[in-house]
Amino acid sequence: MAMARNTHRAPDSSARPSDASVRWCREIGAVRSRPSHHREDIMKVQVSTMIARPPSEVAAFTSDARNEGRWHTDILEMEVTSGDGVSAGTTYHVRTRPGMGVSEGTGTVLEHESDRTVFEWRLGDLTSVITHAVTADVGGTRFVRTVDLRFPQPMRLASPIIRPMVRKGNTRFVANLKRILEDG
């Protein structure tokens, strides 16, 4: 006789999630990668624009986080602490004003390719993975900025409030980038 599976039990962290739960997590933007007492929610925001510049110029400018303070208005200071500023493994110290106060944190270039750079930023308990991607398009370059913001459990209740703020801010930052690169 086959044993019935207890579906009310907490999931085993080593077990693979069902296809339905993976689809549900993708739909709501949440990823459960640890046992429930260490749960993190991931919020994904993606903003793109057309920039009337060659892809190589857009990629060169956006792959160096030292330039980000010119178009990301929350950045107060960005300093390379190791590496060349662009290559994978480069680290940064950042001072930012994401809200009412000033925060300090660290950043690392996780991946760098000619058309894509992935950064990881840590500000206190918040971790964000930001991807800058460029593709050639008619009249210039399609630039896509993707922000994956990881909320630790105590902050996950605030994610519905924070999401529109992150989208609005990143829309503004990408518009600034377009203006700076197109105006020379």
Is 173 within the bounds of a domain? Answer: yes
Is 32 within the bounds of a domain? Answer: no
pLDDT of residue 20: 38
Mean pLDDT along residues 122-147: 95
The whole domain housing 172 covers: 40-183
Residue listed under structure tokens 């800058």: 132
Is 143 within the bounds of a domain? Answer: yes
Is 120 within the bounds of a domain? Answer: yes
pLDDT at 165 over 50: yes
Token pair for 110: 């996780």
Which of 7-21, 106-120, 131-145 comes out lowest in average pLDDT? 7-21
* Spatial separation of the C-alpha atoms in residues 47 and 72, rounded to whole Å: 13
Is 163 within the bounds of a domain? Answer: yes
pLDDT at 27 over 70: no
164 or 55: whose pLDDT is higher?
55
Into how many domains does the chain fold? 1
Residue 40 — pLDDT band, cuts 50, 70, 90?
low
Is 125 within the bounds of a domain? Answer: yes
Here the CATH number for the domain that contains residue 117 is: 3.30.530.20
Indicate the pTM of the whole model: 0.76
Cα→Cα distances 118→88, 130, 180, Å: 9, 6, 21
Is 136 within the bounds of a domain? Answer: yes
Is 155 within the bounds of a domain? Answer: yes
Largest CA distance in the chain: 74
